[in-house]
Amino acid sequence: TGILLEQIMDKSPQELLGKEMGEIVSENYQQCVLARKSIVYEEELTLPSAKRIWLTTLTPILENDNVSHIVGSATDITERKKLEIELKKQANYDQLTGLPNRRLFFKRLESLIVESSRDHTPFALLFLDLDGFKDINDKHGHEAGDEVLITVGQRIQQSIRQSDTTARMGGEEYSVLLRNIEDKIIDPQYSLTNP
pLDDT at 187: 53
Mean pLDDT, residues 3-18 taken together = 85
pLDDT at 136: 92
Please give the share of the chain, as a percent, with pLDDT higher than 90.
66
Query: What is the band of 195 on the pLDDT scale with cuts at 50, 70, 90?
Result: very low
Fold of 93-178: Alpha-Beta Plaits (3.30.70)
Domains 5-81 and 93-178 share a fold: no
What is the domain partition of the chain in residue ranges?
Answer: 5-81, 93-178
pLDDT at 3: 79
Better-scored residue on pLDDT, 37 or 49: 37
CA nearest neighbour of 29 among 64, 65, 74: 74
Mean pLDDT, residues 94-123 taken together = 94
Mean pLDDT of the residues in the chain: 88
**pTM for this entry:** 0.58
Better-scored residue on pLDDT, 185 or 46: 46
Indicate if the pLDDT at residue 188 is higher than 80. Answer: no
Mean pLDDT, residues 159-187 taken together = 86
Indicate if the pLDDT at residue 183 is higher than 80. Answer: no
* All residues at 6 or more sequence positions from 155 whose CB lies less than 8 Å from its CB, including other chains: 192, 195
CATH superfamily of 5-81: PAS domain (3.30.450.20)
